[in-house]
Amino acid sequence: MSVTEPPADDEARPLPPHHGEPAPARHGGPFTTRRGELGAFLRSRRERLSPTALGLPVAPRRRARGLRRDEVAGRAGISSSWYAWLEQGRVRTSEQVLRAVARALCLDEAETAHVLSFVEDTPAAAARPPGWVSRNLLSLVESVAPNPAVVIDPHWDLLAWNAGYAALLTDPARLPPKQRNLPWLVFRWSPARSLLVDWESEARGLLGQFRAHAARHPEDRRYAEIADEITRDPDAARWYERRETAAYQPAVRHFRHPRVGDLRLRYVKLAALDEPGHHFLCYLPDDAEAETGVRRLTEDT
């Protein structure tokens, strides 16, 4: 079924190029527009598709990497010029069109949600002092002890934690403020690779979630600052450049702690509706052995 393109008004015309703006920063930093980030993501997904696998005819001397723009447009039911403008970041578009493009590019559920997030308006969080945490969240963090728990902000900066969290990983209070950040701990804190038994899978998933958040706020310098810091790690740099995204998935995480041994902990992430952007993270024992180990974490400190 063909998707109707926007009417010939201000929404349908390509936006003129902006002159005199700063050059885009590395890794989709603060000067990259939201439209530009969306276009770059769509282009990266277009280039990974195989026309043969999709049953499209292939010329003997074809040079195009992945699908051509006109092939994606045809599959999505929109014009080639409109899709080209979309990749170039020159047009605003509707959820209907983006859903059609997502299907044409064979995006998975997480990638489709990422694309649609560029047309969804989210309420801005109320202005709060930096590092502010509500009394309710502080009480919640302490109430689940000795189970490790922490509160993070939209940048994944660590705002409040309990003794269990400090014992499981490291005490964030001992780190410089800029390093009190979950992606930083996973990629730049060296013990993380031995502490997380399946480090690569965990790190890659976390980076995909962070990448998706950062892409929706290209003007935010804190996201760019974190991206520049964590991509000093070669693995993070490689995955980040691929524009991989991921959605949160409940999971059992396997830790190998130097003092208490193996711990299998269920990872829980809850959004704080009264504080938009803040999340409560908690690790709950998955078996009796983990329950004993968690108690020992704080008893031994």
Task: Please give the Cα distance from 212 to 94 (Å, whole number).
Answer: 19
Residue 244: phi and psi, rounded to 5, are: -70, 135
Q: 111 in a domain, yes or no?
A: yes
pTM of structure: 0.64
CATH code: domain of residue 45: 1.10.260.40
Query: Could you read off the pLDDT tens digit of each residue along the chain, which spans 301 residues?
Result: 444 444 433 333 333 333 333 333 344 433 347 888 888 999 999 998 888 777 777 766 766 678 888 888 888 888 888 898 888 887 777 788 898 899 999 999 889 888 888 875 544 445 566 777 888 899 999 999 999 999 999 999 999 999 999 999 999 999 999 999 999 999 999 999 999 999 999 999 999 999 988 888 888 899 999 999 999 999 999 999 888 888 778 889 999 999 999 999 999 999 887 787 899 999 999 999 999 999 999 886 6
Those residues with Cβ within 8 angstroms of residue 75's Cβ, 6 or more apart along the chain or in another chain: 54, 103, 104
Pair (63, 193) in one structural domain:
no
Domain final residue, candidates 70, 90, 117: 117
Q: 42 in a domain, yes or no?
A: yes
Q: Is 244 exposed, middle or buried (0-12, 13-18, 19+ CB in 10 A)?
A: middle
Domain final residue, candidates 91, 117, 143: 117
Instruction: Report the 10 Å Cβ neighbour count for 97.
Output: 22
Pair (82, 221) in one structural domain:
no
Domain limits for position 239: 135-299
Q: Tokens 């920063």 — which residue?
A: 25
Pair (155, 279) in one structural domain:
yes
Pair (171, 269) in one structural domain:
yes
Task: Please give the Cα distance from 258 to 147 (Å, whole number).
Answer: 17
Q: Is 58 exposed, middle or buried (0-12, 13-18, 19+ CB in 10 A)?
A: exposed
Please report the pLDDT score of residue 26 as a whole number: 42
Please report the pLDDT score of residue 301 as a whole number: 62
Pair (180, 248) in one structural domain:
yes
Tokens of 140: 């919640």
What total of structural domains would you count in the chain?
2
